[in-house]
Structure 1
């Protein structure tokens, strides 16, 4: 059953620049502290959802052109929530729970550690200080970062979809590709991400197949308050076609 669900999810999400990778809840829970564990049976099927560089053109711009923003959330968060809601409607036979990357518990902890989810699902390698053999930082805290084997750092992890009524003990774990091959490169990656993340050079720590467009870079580089000024999108042919696909019975 999980294979057919995954195929259907990919058919629905890939035209809009999203990627999905399956995992079992037990894989995630084994990798996080008890306070972050998800309260589902071990074999429960879940998917981590990534946005690729194409999401901006294929999903975000059409969404902005044809949707009135609520102003409650960041426009990107609104966009992703919208598309995932539409996806969930295509599985009326299942109960699906979505946890977005921006959702927090009352104690301000994230509801899900999306980088860990991406790692255990084999979608992107979560590089942390423990991955460096010759640690130059000692006890200093260093934040980890996921790197995608095709997109490097030019992607984002948007959340997880959980199917509480689907148990799949036979699902085999695929480990993420360790694409930052040397200790030197891993040190460079963590330094760039922790101390120079705003220049985005950490995203190119490996050779990538695709990057964000210049328009997309400008949007994400702008302060949140300034981004709204950049959202005047034209109702061009591509936007119209994307929204027609979004509103079709197959989505």
Structure 2
């Protein structure tokens, strides 16, 4: 069986790819990022944009999603559709023997939080203000999540976790799949005339470029993806599980799988078509920052941004 290296997730040993819709692609032709100084503090941004105190009983997942989305927007973060803890735990039981399960009632509602274009502005501002000694991206994320914990009503018994750090550790790409935030893509999804030849050709090229037994994820590949998980253990609701996403064309599936497997470090697999909305693309600064894996080089880039007037 042909197996592809996965940028985000492994399921039952088969290498697959999860793509978010709309996928945030890289706009390498755009001008550099313009940072507006100073951005408000996370506490100010949250309290002025939304109020969780306005939530009404009984708990309503749609209302909570709207309030959370509004609260996150100034920090260049977005939240997923609501999902149930039971959906995720069932998927993990079927694909990974129940590892990385969420502790909570099956009907408890949860949300994944992910960053979007211009999140680098937030990281730069936090670095300029706080000068964190460790990972500067996680430093900004943790500060935001800390303020979110303070804002959430205690009655919801919320658990807010930085999924890049843990513990606990969760398989956020599985979360994205069960709440229809991601499309699950693997080689067998490429069908039609010439598909068998395409898979065979890619398999041959993979044998020339990397160990076919090489597994795991590439940490740099999720920089523009999931940041956190919010589990509302007392926020319970019967939800209808959405149908899996299916939005990529056959040609896009081929290109994305080929790009990731053959030269994932270039991040071209993140791009969709030229018609992708410009406001959903990454700037060159964001692209180079988040594909740089050296903490010291990232810090130097932030120092350079800090010098801007």
Same-fold call, TM > 0.5?
yes
* Partner SS for 2:169: coil
Whether contact under 8 Å (2:77, 2:119) holds in the other structure is: yes
CA pair 178-114 structure 1, distance change in 2 beyond 3 A: same
1:174 aligns with 2:239: no
CA pair 117-49 structure 1, distance change in 2 beyond 3 A: same
Of 155, 162, 165, which residue of structure 2 is paired with 1:103? Answer: 165
Q: Deviations over 1:14-63 (max 9, x none)?
A: 12211102111111122222123222221111001111112222x22221
**Which residue number in structure 1 is paired with residue 290 of structure 2?**
220
Of 108, 118, 123, which residue of structure 2 is paired with 1:44? Answer: 108
Superposition TM-score, scaled by structure 2 size: 0.63
Task: Report 1:28-43 matches (<5 A).
Answer: 28-32=88-92, 33=96, 34-43=98-107
1:124 aligns with 2:182: yes
Partners of 1:81 and 1:130 in 2: CA distance = 38
Partners of 2:244 and 2:233 in 1: CA distance = 24
Whether contact under 8 Å (2:180, 2:242) holds in the other structure is: yes
Give, in angstroms, the shift of residue 235 of structure 1.
Answer: 8.1
Partners of 2:296 and 2:181 in 1: CA distance = 32
Of 63, 66, 79, which residue of structure 1 is paired with 2:129? Answer: 66
Give, in angstroms, the shift of residue 144 of structure 1.
Answer: 9.8
Partners of 1:112 and 1:40 in 2: CA distance = 13
Partners of 2:146 and 2:213 in 1: CA distance = 37
Give, in angstroms, the shift of residue 194 of structure 1.
Answer: 2.4
* Partner SS for 1:208: coil
**Which residue number in structure 2 is paired with residue 242 of structure 1?**
none
* Partner SS for 1:88: helix
1:27 aligns with 2:87: yes
Highest RCO, 1 vs 2 (Cα 8 Å, sep ≥ 6): 2
Of 230, 237, 260, which residue of structure 2 is paired with 1:193? Answer: 260
* Partner SS for 1:29: helix
- Rg bigger for which structure? 2
Partners of 1:101 and 1:197 in 2: CA distance = 22
* Partner SS for 1:155: coil
**Which residue number in structure 2 is paired with residue 14 of structure 1?**
73
* Partner SS for 1:77: helix
Partners of 1:90 and 1:180 in 2: CA distance = 37
CA pair 175-77 structure 1, distance change in 2 beyond 3 A: farther
**Which residue number in structure 2 is paired with residue 163 of structure 1?**
232
CA pair 128-161 structure 1, distance change in 2 beyond 3 A: farther
Partners of 2:244 and 2:147 in 1: CA distance = 28
Give, in angstroms, the shift of residue 225 of structure 1.
Answer: 2.5
Of 49, 54, 64, which residue of structure 2 is paired with 1:5? Answer: 64
Give, in angstroms, the shift of residue 98 of structure 1.
Answer: 2.1
Of 143, 146, 150, which residue of structure 2 is paired with 1:85? Answer: 146
Superposition TM-score, scaled by structure 1 size: 0.76
**Which residue number in structure 1 is paired with residue 8 of structure 2?**
none
CA pair 4-217 structure 1, distance change in 2 beyond 3 A: same
Whether contact under 8 Å (2:145, 2:162) holds in the other structure is: no
Partners of 2:248 and 2:177 in 1: CA distance = 14
Q: Deviations over 1:166-225 (max 9, x none)?
A: 1112x233345422121x432321221122111111111344322211211221233333
